[in-house]
Amino acid sequence: MVGKKGGSKGMGAAEDAEEELARTPLQAIILADSFTTKFRPITLERPKVLLPLVNAPMIDYTLAWLESAGVEEVFVFCCAHSKQVIDYLDKSNWFGQPNFSVTTIESHNAISAGDALRLIYEQHVIRGDFILVSGDTVSNMSLSQALKEHKERRRKDSNAVMTMVIKQSKASPVTRQSRLGTEELFMVIDPETKQLLYYEDRGDNLKGYLSLDKALLTDNTSISLQNDKQDCYIDICSPEVLSLFTDNFDYQHLRRDFVKGLLVDDIMGYKIYTHEIHSSYAARIDNYRSYHTISKDIIQRWTYPLVPDVQFFGNSATKLERQGMYRAPEIKQSRSSKIGPFTVIGSGTSIGNNTEISNSVVGEGCSIGSNVTIEGCYIWHNVTIEDGCKLKHSIVCDGVTMKSGAALEPGVVLSFKVVIGRNFLVPAYSKVSLHQQPIRQDSDEELEYADNSSGITESPSVSGTLDLLNEEERPELHDSQEYEVGDGGVGFIWLVSEAGQEEEWRHSVAPIPVDKLVAIMQISNDEVDLPNEDGAFLPPSGELGPDSITNDSNEDAEDIRDDSVIFEREVEATFQRAVEEDVTDDHVILEVNSLRLSYNMASADCAGALFYSVMKLALDAPHDSPNELYKNVVSTVRKWKKLLKYYLPSIDEEIEVILKFEEMCLESAREYSPLFVQILHHLYDQDIIQEEAILDWASEKEGAEESDKVFVKQSEKFIQWLKEASEEEDED
C-alpha cells in the first residue's frame, strides 16, 4: 500500500527483500544481560537493558529496531534481574504486538553469552537463520541487505555460518577512545569475499606489533588488514552457531571464544563473513563512555527515526527546538533559566530560577532548584536537585536527592535513591550506591568468568563478581555503618582500587583529561610504523608477518614468556578443577585445547604444562618421605596416564616433558630431585616416555654446561641400561 512516490528508491528494494524474508519468520535473540560488571553499581539494582537512554529504556531501542527491520519473533534471554525485565516487557505492551512476538527465556544459571546460547539451543526454538544482538544495541540499519547476502552465501557454501555487521570508524586512537572507550580492533578481511580471517579486539595490548599467521598470506590471494572498523555486535547467525556453542561447552564470550575459536581452530571449516554498513547507524552500549556517546548520537539524530521527538515506542514524544534542544510539552521552566543546546528535558520536570542546563539529559518528573548548574549530565527520572547544586559530567539515577549546595565532579555515578548531603563535594570518578561494595573475591573461578565475560579487558582486581551472584548475597545495610556522603546523606562511596583508577577515566562519561589525551596522542605518534590513514592498507609483510616475533625486541620476548606463564597457570587451574570435580579426560582435553588456541601455544607446551600439573598434584598430596612421594607419583600418573599420553604423540613432546621435569626438580619442586631417576624409570615403564626420547634428551644435554647436567649424570646408569637394551634389540 505504500505509495510509490516517485523517488522512494530505497523503499522498493527493501520491500522486495522483506517479501522474500516473509516466507520464513525471521527470528532474533536478544541477550538481556551483558554478563559484565561495567555498569556497577547501577546494575546491582536494575538490569542494564532497562537503564534509560535519552529517557527510554535501552531494550526499547533494540526491540523497536528489530521490529522495524522485519523481525517477527524475538526471544529475550533474561538472566540477572530477569523478573524486572519480564515485568517491564509486560507492562510496556511488547508482548501484545501483532506480527511481532516477544518471548522471554529465563535462566539464573547462565554466566556468559555462551551459556545463554546453549540454553536456547536446548529449547529448540530457533528454526532458521537468526539475528543475535544484546539488549543494549542501538541501530537503525535495514537488515534485508545483510540477510540477503548471508542467505546467498549459505546457498553456495553451507559453512558460512555467521555474518558480522561492521561499520567504519576513523582509525585515530583518540576517536576510538573518546567515542566508545574500546580498544583498537584489528580485523583481516578478504576484500573480495568479505570473509573474516582474523579478529583481535585487544589491540592495546599489542604494543604496536601484530602477528599474523603465515598461512593467512599463503592461502589468500589478497587480504586487507583493517583497524578502522567498528564491531557493531550485530550478528546474523545460522542455526549451526547454537550447536557449535553446545559442542564446545567452554565457549563463553561471543567474540573472544567463539569468533576466535572458529578462525583459529578451523572447526569443520566454518566461516565467518562481514557486512559493512555505511549510512545506517549501529552501536552497542558497553560502558559509561559509550552510553554518553550514543546518547549524544541519538540527540544528534543519527539514529533517526529512533529519536526523542518521534514516538517509536511508548516513550513520550518531546518537541525538537533549535540547536538540538528537546523539551516535553509539560514542563515548568523559570523564565530566568537557560537551557543550552543538545539537551533533553522530560515531561513533568520543573526548573528553577537562574538554572543553567547544557548538553544534558533530564528525565521525567525531576525537580531542579534555583541557581543549579548542570553540564553534560544524565539525570534520570524523579530526581530532586536542590538550590545551588553543581553537576558536571555525571550520571544521576532515579530517585536521587541532592541537598542544596552539593556538587559532583566529573565522572561521578550516583546510583538509585542516594542522598547527597548539604554542601558535600563528591570526588571525581566516584560511584555512590546504597549498597556496599561487595567484598572482592579472588578465587580463580570467579576471575576466569569475569575475564571471559567482560567485553573488554578489565584489570582483574576491579572485576568483581557477577550481578547475579551479587543479588543473592546482597550486603545488608548496617545502621551502624556511617555514610560517607555528607550531612544527611545516604549512600556508600565505592572504593576504586589503584589499578582501577587508571581505567576509570577511560570508561566514564566525563571528558578525557587533557594529560591522558596527550598521552594517547604520544603513543599514536610513536606508532609511526603503522599508517593511520584512511581505508584499508596492506601491511608490508616483513613488518607484520610472523617474523616480527623473532625480532630481538626484548619486549616481545617478555610478552611471550608472560603468555606461557599465564598459560601454564591456566592449564594447572583447569587440571585442578578436573581433579576436584571429577571431569572426564575428554573434557579436560577439550578445555586444554581451547586454552592452547587462545594463547597460541604448541602442543608440546600443553604436554609440558599438563605434566607439570600432574606432578604438582602428586606433590601436593600428603607425604612424609621420598618413598611416599614416589608412591603418590605412581598413583597419580596411573590415573592420568591417558591424558598425558594424549598430548605425547611424538618424541618432541616427550623431550619437552623431560625438560620440564628437570626444570621442576631444579626450581619449583626440589623434593623431586632425589627421585628423578626413579620417576623417569617409572614413566618409561608406563610407556609414557619412550627410550628414544630419553636418549635424545641425554645426547642433547651432552654439550650443556656442567650445572645443567646434574640430572643427566644422575640418570647415567639408567641411560646406560637403556642403550644396552636397545643395542641388544638391534643385535637380535
Partner 1 sequence: MPDIERLVNDFVAKLSKRKVEGSQATSRLTAELLRSVVSLQRLPPTNSAAVLIEAVRGIGVKLVAANPVELAVGNIVRRVLHIIREEDLSLLTSKTSDLALSAASDDEGTIDQDYDPTQSAAAAAAAAKSFLRPPSLHALLENMLDKAVPSNNYTSSSGGDSEEKSKADKLARTRKLKHDVIEAINILIEDIDTCHELIAEQAVEHIHQNEVILTLGSSRTAFEFLCAAKEKKRSFRVVVAEGAPRYQGHALAKELVSRGLQTIVVTDSAVFAMISRVNMVIVGVHAVMANGGVIAPVGMNMVALAAQKHAVPFVVVAGIHKLCPSYPHNPEVCLNDMRSPAELLEFGRFSNCMEFGMDSGAPLQVVNPGFDYVAPELVSLLITDIGGHNPSYMYRLISDYYSADDFDLQGRIHK
Residue 279 found at the interface with partner 1 (CB under 8 A): yes
- Of 156, 278, 335, 478, the residue at the interface with partner 1 (CB under 8 A) is 278
- Of 6, 540, 622, 703, the residue at the interface with partner 1 (CB under 8 A) is 6
The span of 29-37, 61-69, 451-459, 698-706 binding partner 1 (CB under 8 A) equals 61-69
Q: Which amino acid is at 33?
A: D
* Cell 522495524, located at residue: 68
Give the footprint of partner 1 on residues 633-692 (CB under 8 A).
none
- Of 151, 167, 431, 660, the residue at the interface with partner 1 (CB under 8 A) is 167
Which triple of cell numbers denotes residue 257? 571464544
Residue 333 found at the interface with partner 1 (CB under 8 A): no
CB of 296 to partner 1, least distance (A): 5
**HEC states along 318-332?**
CEEEHHHEEECCCCE
CB of 566 to partner 1, least distance (A): 32
Residue 5 found at the interface with partner 1 (CB under 8 A): yes
DSSP secondary structure string, 32-100?
Answer: S---S-TTTTGGGTS-GGGSEETTEEHHHHHHHHHHHTT--EEEEEEBTBHHHHHHHHHHTTSTT-TT-
DSSP letter (8 states) at residue 587: H
Considering beta carbons, is residue 156 or 278 the nearer one to partner 1? 278
Considering beta carbons, is residue 6 or 269 the nearer one to partner 1? 6
Question: Which of 368, 365, 359, 353 has its CA nearest to residue 404?
Answer: 368
DSSP secondary structure string, 368-413?
Answer: E-TT-EEES-EE-TT-EE-TT-EEES-EE-TT-EE-TT-EE-TT-E
CB of 317 to partner 1, least distance (A): 7
Using an 8 Å Cβ cutoff, are 678 and 715 in contact?
no
- Of 209, 249, 304, 599, the residue at the interface with partner 1 (CB under 8 A) is 304
Cα distance between residue 678 and residue 717, in whole Å: 11
- Of 249, 302, 537, 599, the residue at the interface with partner 1 (CB under 8 A) is 302
Residue 1 found at the interface with partner 1 (CB under 8 A): yes
Considering beta carbons, is residue 97 or 384 the nearer one to partner 1? 97
Residue 68 found at the interface with partner 1 (CB under 8 A): yes
Residue 500 backbone class (left: φ over 0; alpha: ψ -120 to 50; beta: rest): alpha
CB of 220 to partner 1, least distance (A): 25
- Of 116, 407, 428, 512, the residue at the interface with partner 1 (CB under 8 A) is 512
Using an 8 Å Cβ cutoff, are 661 and 608 in contact?
no
Residue 23 found at the interface with partner 1 (CB under 8 A): no
DSSP letter (8 states) at residue 492: E
CB of 493 to partner 1, least distance (A): 24
Cα distance between residue 268 and residue 275, in whole Å: 22
Residue 91 found at the interface with partner 1 (CB under 8 A): no
CB of 279 to partner 1, least distance (A): 5
Task: List for the chain the helix, strand, coil content (%; round to 5).
Answer: 45, 15, 40
Using an 8 Å Cβ cutoff, are 72 and 100 in contact?
yes
Considering beta carbons, is residue 317 or 490 the nearer one to partner 1? 317
- Of 54, 63, 64, 126, the residue at the interface with partner 1 (CB under 8 A) is 64
Q: Torsions phi, psi of 557, nearest 5?
A: -60, -40
Give the footprint of partner 1 on residues 426-445 (CB under 8 A).
none
Residue 118: how many other CB atoms lie within 10 Å: 20
Residue 292 found at the interface with partner 1 (CB under 8 A): yes
Query: What is the contact surface with partner 1 in residues (CB under 8 A)?
Result: 1-9, 11, 64, 67-68, 97-98, 140, 167-170, 172, 174-175, 177-179, 181, 228, 230, 278-281, 289, 292-293, 296-297, 300-305, 309-312, 317, 320, 324, 511-512, 517
